[in-house]
Chain A
Amino acid sequence: MSGDAFTYSRAADLAEALAAGAAPGAAFLAGGTDLTPLWKARAARPDHVVDISRLPLAQIEATSAGLTLGALAKLSDVAADPAVRRDYPLVAEAIRASASGQVRNMASLGGALLQRTRCAYFRDAAMACNKREPGSGCGALAGENRGAAIFGASEACVATHPSDVAVALAALDAQVEIAGPKGTRRIALADLHREPGDTPEIDTTLAHGEVVTRIEVPAAPAWRATYLKVRDRASFEFAVISVAAALEIANGRIVQARLCAGGVAPKPWRLTAAEAALAGHAPTLDVFAEAADLAVQGARPLAHNGFKIDLLRRAVARALATVGGAA
């Protein structure tokens, strides 16, 4: 399969990449695991592809301040890194739960954060999809929406963000460094993706021509963390839902909690009410159940995805029990 012809250039350095990427119709290519199939399906239609895969942005550095990951680090390298495995196991776990060995060897971390929705209406050029073709309608809203969002969706778009690692990174309060024609800026990963509102064609707060260069994870306290991914088959499937859960427990009390859900929203969905309810309490099943109830507050089901509400509640309780030692 193929889309329309495009031109290709390989950027020698970041400045060259930003210059080339600023042109209208230009798209950045890193691992290609998302852009290539999107191009084939005509859900991405670049005129020009700027290959940034060889820019020196693949570092994996752990210091006492935290973890710095180059946006072009391959998922497999991040997951295999000894420091990541030792100090940020949640990240390694989420990566290992995602895609396949081949894809993890190709996909960059930055690309994983920026991958577009798996909504089938988006990826079929003949379907109605406001994200792909603004104004064409949302086929999923009243259609096959088992996989659709229960949080953060709009009438215009009910798609979910598919990344596993983004869920783990968001739970760990990761920051994202962004370079663009106007300079470099840093934002919280939580602010990278946006809710669709009336403009679902815009996935993120990146401006055209901006590129993610670095992901920084603050040094973690003694998190006890787990990434729970629920799916229909045992491997190689996007999450039906997932939960990243991390607890800091001291003296029999939860000092702080982090909960983030995947597969439920257009972005990694932090469950802040549940987090707040956990802090200061003993890690008991009752406390976890209460947090799990709070986690699904405000969820809005469609015709075929209502089960995700109950599933999320159960998954939050399970993940907390796993890390809280109260299972």
Chain B
Amino acid sequence: MPDAGRVEIRLTLNGEPRQIAVAPFDTLLDVLRDQVGLTGVKKGCDMGACGACTVLADGRRIKACLALAASYDGRAITTIEGIGSPEALHPLQAAFVRHDALQCGYCTPGQILSALALIEEGVADREAIREGLSGNLCRCGAHPAIVEAVAEVAGL
């Protein structure tokens, strides 16, 4: 029988190697928020339906609430904390500020990470941005400003 105890995993977290002991059932979301203290990763629904917990795994966007941490052993994870800081904003973060692409701010880290990956995936127009960001819910209604901010950085 496999060990019922904790599982040692290694992650590259925002560029830094980390070794963390997790429970077999811990989600990547709970590990990042509660064990590592990266609270920029938000828990909005915990069921994969809101996108607030979006992080990048080896550069691809995923929902951390659906990911078992143990299964991501060895992967490179990027959270919002690894993108920029208030003193040194990433261009997309600066565009969010300029376009007022956030209100309460709780969905914002997920929107930004999702958009960064989307730009990498390639977007041709605003409609593609809207479709591509539809996995990130926003309840304040910042959507149009988010799309403008992303379009600006995507050069559209």
Contact = CB atoms under 8 A, between A and B. Distances in A.
Asked if A pairs with B, the answer is: yes
Interface residues of B, number: 37
Contact of A6 (B24, B118, B134, B135): B24
Interface string B116-156: 01100100000000111111100000000000000000000
B114 A102 contact: yes
Nearest to A123: B47
B62 A7 contact: no
A48 B135 CA distance: 30
A106 B62 CA distance: 6
B27 interface: yes
Given A49-B24, A101-B135, A36 B3 contact: no
B61 A101 contact: yes
Contact of B48 (A9, A36, A53, A76): A36
A234 B24 contact: no
Interface string B20-53: 0001110100000000000000000011100100
A36 B67 contact: yes
A99 B70 contact: no
Contacts of B7: 8
A186 to B, nearest CB: 28
A107 B60 CA distance: 13
B92 interface: no
B89 interface: no
Chain A to chain B: the 8 pairs with minimum beta-carbon distance, closest first: A100-B135, A8-B24, A235-B134, A9-B2, A236-B134, A102-B63, A7-B2, A37-B47
23 contacts: A5-B23, A7-B3, A8-B25, A10-B70, A29-B68, A29-B71, A31-B66, A32-B66, A37-B48, A40-B46, A49-B24, A51-B70, A100-B136, A101-B114, A102-B48, A102-B61, A102-B63, A102-B135, A103-B66, A103-B135, A105-B60, A106-B67, A235-B130
Given A102-B51, A105-B57, 11 more contacts: A3-B25, A8-B2, A8-B7, A8-B24, A8-B68, A10-B71, A32-B68, A37-B47, A39-B25, A102-B54, A105-B60
Interface of B: 1-4, 7, 23-25, 27, 46-48, 51, 54, 57, 60-63, 65-68, 70-71, 73, 114, 117-118, 121, 130-136
Interface of A: 1-3, 5-10, 20, 29, 31-33, 36-37, 39-41, 48-49, 51, 53, 76, 99-103, 105-106, 234-236
